[in-house]
Amino acid sequence: MRLLFVGDIVGRAGRGKLLAELPVLRQAWRLDFVVVNAENAAGGFGITESICEEFLGAGADCITLGNHGFDQREALVFIERQPRLLRPINFPPGTPGRGANVFETGGGAKVLVVNIMGRVFMDPLDDPFAALERELGTCPLETGCDASIIDVHAETTSEKQALGSVADGRATLVVGTHTHVPTSDHRILPGGTAYLSDAGMTGDYDSIIGMEKEEPIRRFIRKVPGARFEPAMGAATLCGIAVESDDRTGLAVRIAPVRLGGQLSGARPEFWEE
């Protein structure tokens, strides 16, 4: 199965890049399933229903969120009627929406997607390790699903790596989001799970993690808030990770970073472009 995960969409620049690229990539790379993290899609903070529908219409099969998932209050309502939009599974009981779901591809394969949020330097949510164990136990590869993708929205690489190691051999892909900077540690772990500490953002990298530079710099220097953070509007880079899985086991057989356009050096899965 051919899987694509796209890192955090930031503001209008990131939205425009995703909408321009994803329909083309779906066809050119013959993608079976696409996950997009969109917790910063609406002006850098949260997601709206119209943006969610745009991304699904462009070719996303599932959209994941994170700590900014409910910054747009309408998300508290429409997430209940949109099964393809996930928020972190370890939010407290009673939080609107769902943190995991099983989706069917056009070819009839089943894909489990789980959205988890870390706790180190983040909000003190429920235990992400226990939540991951529950989901992997409930829907194992081969018998419950044909592939599984875990979005770990977390601050520290150590927590992401720990969750990746716990899932190794039991998930197709464990990929980190949240820090908006792509890491270069993409690999297949010993048990067969594809891993990347952070997919990076889809947005303007001539910025401070997707935001215009002036206000973040001012806050670092002055230590008090002033103007609102505004997403940078320059040329965007689409960042993510491409994974090919074994149809029999659901484990990863190939992995490659994706970086298209904008400020960063390009990267594409050459094994899909032969």
Domain ranges of the chain: 2-272
Place of tokens 């894909």: 111
Cα 15 from Cα 131, distance rounded (Å): 30
In this prediction, residue 226 has a pLDDT band, given cuts at 50, 70 and 90, of: confident
Structure tokens at 134: 């529950």
CATH number of the domain at 2-272, please?
3.60.21.10
| Prediction pTM value | 0.96
Name which of 176, 210, 184 is nearest 9 in CA terms: 210
Length of the chain as a residue count: 274
Cα 89 from Cα 112, distance rounded (Å): 13
Average pLDDT over residues 159-179: 98
Verify whether residue 68 is a known catalytic residue: yes
In this prediction, residue 274 has a pLDDT band, given cuts at 50, 70 and 90, of: low
Separation in Å, CA 109 to CA 101, 170, 235:
14, 17, 36
> Which of 68, 153, 178, 180 is the catalytic position?
68
Cα 141 from Cα 148, distance rounded (Å): 7
pLDDT higher than 90, residue 158: yes
